[in-house]
Chain A
C-alpha cells in the first residue's frame, strides 16, 4: 500500500518570503500522479498543483512550484512571494496508475503567513 508522509505539522513564513513544504511517499509503482491541495478554514479543498510521475520537468503554477525527485520519492512544494491568503492546511496526495483511483493523503502541514 502507498503511504504519504508530511514531516512538518506546522510552518510559518513572513509575507513575501519563500517557503518549502516537504512530502515523501512510498510506492512500488513506476507510474503515478502527485498532487498538492490547499484547505483554508472554509474547508474547501483546492488543487494547488499536480505532477505526472512520467514527466521529468517540475510542474509550476504561478507562485507555486514543485521539486519532484522520483528516485528519492520526494515531492516538495515551494511557495514564492507568500501572501496572507496562502494561510491554510496543505495536503500532499498520491494517486496510483492506472485509472482514476482514490487519493492517498499525507497528514497535512499547517502554514501560517505572517504580516
Chain B
C-alpha cells in the first residue's frame, strides 16, 4: 500500500517568510510524528499527534513552529518568520496504536533551505 508522503520535496524560502510542510500518513495510522534532521543536531523530535488527544508539543524549538492535524489524517507543520537555522530536513512518520512499541514509518522528508 501507499507509504507516508510529504510535500513539497524541497523548499527554498527567504528569511522571514512563513512556510507550510505537509504530511499524509499511512491510511489507518492514528499516530503521527514530526522530526527535524539537521547537520548539527541530528534527528530531533518536534511534535506528536495521537488520535483525538492533545498533541505533545514538547519538542517544538520555538513558538514560531506549530502543527495541526485535520480529521485525524493529514498534518501541516508551519514555520513562521523562518530563520537560517531552520534549514533542515523535516521528516514525518506515522504508526498504528494497537500495541506497545509500534514501528514508525517515515516519509521521504522535506528539505527546507532558508536563504
B101: A residues at CB distance < 8 A? 33, 50, 52, 95, 97, 100
Interface residue B72 (Cβ < 8 Å from any Cβ of A): no
- B contact residues, total (Cβ < 8 Å): 26
* Count of A-B residue pairs with CB < 8 Å: 57
In the assembly, what is the distance between CA of A106 and CA of B42, in Å? 8
Total residues of chain A contacting the partner, CB 8 A: 25
Can you list 15 A-B pairs, Cβ within 8 angstroms, ordered by A?
A: A33-B101, A42-B108, A43-B109, A44-B108, A44-B109, A47-B105, A100-B31, A100-B95, A100-B100, A100-B101, A102-B48, A103-B33, A105-B42, A106-B42, A108-B42
Given A102-B56, A107-B42, verify A43-B108 contact (CB < 8 Å).
yes
| Interface hits, A86-115 → B, CB 8 Å | 91, 95, 97-108
Q: Which secondary structure dominates chain A's binding surface?
A: loop
B83 located at the interface, meaning its Cβ lies under 8 Å from any Cβ of chain A in the complex: no
A105–B103 Cα distance when bound, in Å, is 14
- Choose among B31, B48, B103, B111 the residue that contacts A35 (Cβ–Cβ < 8 A): B103
